């Protein structure tokens, strides 16, 4: 059960997922990083990935620029890296594969089970083409945003006071242009939860993954990740870890938001069928 006292400390106690009709999630993404595995971005690798990722038929190729430190003092070498992109027709889900990482992101998140099931499909597809020697990092990130004027007016009712910063605490002719809070929570010896939240002005942003909004907005960005790697690229083990991470982030989300928030955003009760 979610504690009703907003002063209750945050813990990793699991919370039952509640479907929200107006879910404020703007983007959810996960990324697995590993040492160079060039077979994944080869022509043959792309064909095999495409066959395994049939629900993402839109295929594109990109080039990213990486900077590496050279042997000489101050020497920096730019290197081009191939990126393989696979997306659904609506462009709401995208899989990105490079020789050192694979990621899945969406703007139409429905549930933890759906997202994690899709991520497991991606991990399986990678393993079918070329199993990376080890995993360097696992990350999962949820970005929520409120930008409706009515919701922003009720922000004090929706969000735990400790996450509001100076929002609502200035008066007279004073106006807050932006207010950002940041915390890094140690959840295990090799795992951290980084949380950033706050009010942004129109067009404001604090990270490239958070796209600018034409209106004032409140953003909650929760990023859970490993700080140590070196473990096996095992799709089942990665799936278990990702589901645990999703549980942890959702526990924080429910701690950060109030019962009033749930009342305002949860799905309406089903309409009974007429006899």
Flag the least confident range among 26-30, 77-81, 235-239: 77-81
Q: Is the Cβ–Cβ distance between 142 and 272 less than 8 Å?
A: no
Whether 270 is covered by a domain: the verdict is no
Q: Specify burial of residue 7 (Cβ count, 10 A radius: 0-12, 13-18, 19+).
A: exposed
Q: How confident is the model at residue 22 (pLDDT cuts 50, 70, 90)?
A: confident
Provide the percentage of residues in the chain whose pLDDT is more than 90.
60
- Sorted by sequence, the CB contacts under 8 Å of residue 34 that are 6+ apart come out as 100, 101, 132, 133, 134, 135, 136, 229, 233
- Sorted by sequence, the CB contacts under 8 Å of residue 45 that are 6+ apart come out as 39, 84, 129, 130
Q: Could you tell me the residue range of the domain that residue 103 belongs to?
A: 25-265
Among 219, 116, 108, CA closest to 167: 219
**pLDDT tens-digit readout, 84-142:** 999 999 999 999 999 999 999 999 999 999 999 999 999 999 999 999 999 999 999 99
Residue 34: the pLDDT is: 97
Whether 2 is covered by a domain: the verdict is no
Pairing of strands 101-106, 137-146: unpaired
Cα 221 from Cα 242, distance rounded (Å): 17
The length of the chain in residues reads 275
Whether 53 is covered by a domain: the verdict is yes
- Global pTM reads 0.86
Residue 70: the pLDDT is: 52
How many domains does the chain fold into?
Answer: 1
The DSSP secondary structure of 220-234, one letter per residue, reads EEEEEEES---B---
């Amino acid at each position: 059960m979610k504690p009703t006292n907003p002063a209750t400390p945050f813990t990793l106690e699991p919370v039952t997922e509640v479907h929200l009709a107006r879910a404020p999630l703007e983007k959810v993404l996960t990324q697995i990083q590993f040492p160079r595995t060039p077979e994944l971005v080869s022509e043959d690798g792309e064909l095999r990935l495409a066959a395994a990722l049939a629900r993402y038929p839109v295929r594109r190729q990109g080039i990213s620029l990486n900077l590496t430190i050279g042997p000489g003092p101050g020497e920096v070498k730019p290197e081009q890296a191939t990126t393989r992109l696979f997306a659904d027709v609506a462009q709401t889900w995208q899989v990105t594969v490079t020789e050192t990482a694979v990621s899945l992101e969406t703007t139409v998140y429905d549930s933890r089970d759906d997202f994690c099931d899709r991520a497991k499909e991606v991990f399986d597809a990678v393993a079918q083409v070329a199993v990376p020697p080890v995993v360097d990092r696992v990350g999962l990130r949820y970005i929520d945003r409120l930008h409706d004027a009515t919701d922003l007016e009720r922000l004090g009712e929706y969000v735990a006071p400790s996450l509001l910063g100076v929002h609502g605490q200035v008066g007279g002719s004073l106006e807050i242009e932006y207010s950002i809070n940041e915390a890094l929570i140690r959840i295990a010896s090799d795992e951290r939860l980084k949380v950033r939240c706050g009010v942004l002005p129109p067009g404001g942003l604090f990270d490239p993954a958070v796209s600018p909004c034409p209106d004032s907005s409140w953003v909650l960005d929760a990023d859970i990740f490993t700080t140590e790697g070196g473990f096996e690229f095992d799709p089942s083990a990665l799936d278990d870890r990702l589901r645990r991470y999703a549980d942890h982030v959702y526990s924080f989300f429910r701690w950060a938001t109030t019962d009033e928030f749930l009342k305002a955003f949860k799905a309406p009760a089903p309409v009974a069928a007429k006899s």
